[in-house]
Amino acid sequence: MAADMMPGFHKLLSAQDRSLHLRKEFVVRMGNVPTTECPNCNGTGAVTSPTNIPIVVRAFAGGILGASLGPGGMVIGAAGAALMDGTVTTSQKCSQCNGRGKVEVDKSRKVQHASRTPSGWHRQGGKTMKMYHGTTAANAQSILENGFKPSSNGMLGKGVYVSADIEKAKRYGHSVLEVEAKLGKTKKIDSQSHPMRTSWHSHGYDSAWVPANCGMVSSGLTETCIFDPDRIRVIREV
């Protein structure tokens, strides 16, 4: 009977040994890996961005809530909600860390070398777009270390020039940076004679956009000028 139990006993020991080995391997792999604060989310594990709720939605919700106050409550509630600030902050899990704000030291170095997020970028409003900025290798390194510096002049006036078309960016230099831009309030400029071609920012706009094939430039490629460089963060060098 004892002999019959031996094979099962050996199997149990073998399973325990494998389990112990796996736990030791996990400690060796994970326990001794140095980590540091994620530079993308500043150690929070999440990135936030503002989202605007359309005025129609705000008015409808306000009207529903106001209806409980009586016949005039719906109108008052809808009007009040429409006048309120419709910006809410949404949060998403950081894509560059373990979700708890920590990254391996080597990965952190790579992120810091290849990307740059200005302070307050996540709080900037407007549509976020992936775009490209072409420049020299020396300028690209300076941008990664110190951020963008606006051009003092150009087709659309002062600002940082980017494009949704990578071919347009390549015309400005061999080093192309992939960026995410918070466009804010955008003005379309589709002719050289446009009255706000270089003065759009003084009229309350955050960026100016030249559509493709509108006749502004001979190449027909689209281009965008963003006044505030803190609206642009570098994702990587292409």
Q: 24 lies in a domain? A: no
Pair (100, 148) in one structural domain: no
Kindly report, residue by residue over 154-193, the tens digit of the pLDDT. 899 999 999 999 999 999 888 999 999 999 999 999 999 9
pTM of the model: 0.54
64 neighbors 54 (Cβ within 8 angstroms): no
The C-alpha atoms of residue 100 and residue 149 are separated, in whole angstroms, by 33
CB contact at 8 A, 118 and 149: no
Whichever domain contains 149, its CATH number is: 3.90.228.10
pLDDT at 15 over 70: no
2 domain-assigned: no
User: What's the total number of domains in the chain?
Assistant: 2
Average pLDDT over every residue of 137-141: 88
Residue 10 lies in a domain: no
In a domain, 141, yes or no: yes
What digits encode the pLDDT tens for the residues 52-75? 566 666 556 655 665 666 666 566
Query: What are the tens digits of pLDDT across the range 24-60?
Result: 333 334 445 566 666 566 677 776 655 556 666 655 6
The three-state (H, E, C) secondary structure of the chain, written as one string: CHHHHHHHHHHHHHHHHHHHHHHHHHHHHHHCCCEEECCCCCCCCEEEEEEECCHHHHHHHHHHHHHHHCCCHHHHHHHHHHHCCCEEEEEEECCCCCCCCEEEHHHHHHHHHHCECCCCHHHCCECEEEEEEEECHHHHHHHHHHCCCCECCCCCCCEEEEECCHHHHHCCCCEEEEEEEECECEEECCCCCCCCCCCHHHHCCCEEEECCCCCCCCCCCCEEEECCHHHEEEEEEC
| Residue where a domain stops, chosen among 65, 87, 114 | 114
Kindly state whether residues 76 and 141 are assigned to the same domain.
no
Domain around 231? 124-237
Q: Is residue 16 part of a domain?
A: no
Q: Tens of pLDDT along 64-105?
A: 665 666 666 566 655 555 555 555 566 777 766 667 777 654
Mark which of 81, 114, 147 sits at the end of a domain.
114
Is 38 inside any structural domain?
yes
Residues 136 and 102 in one domain: no
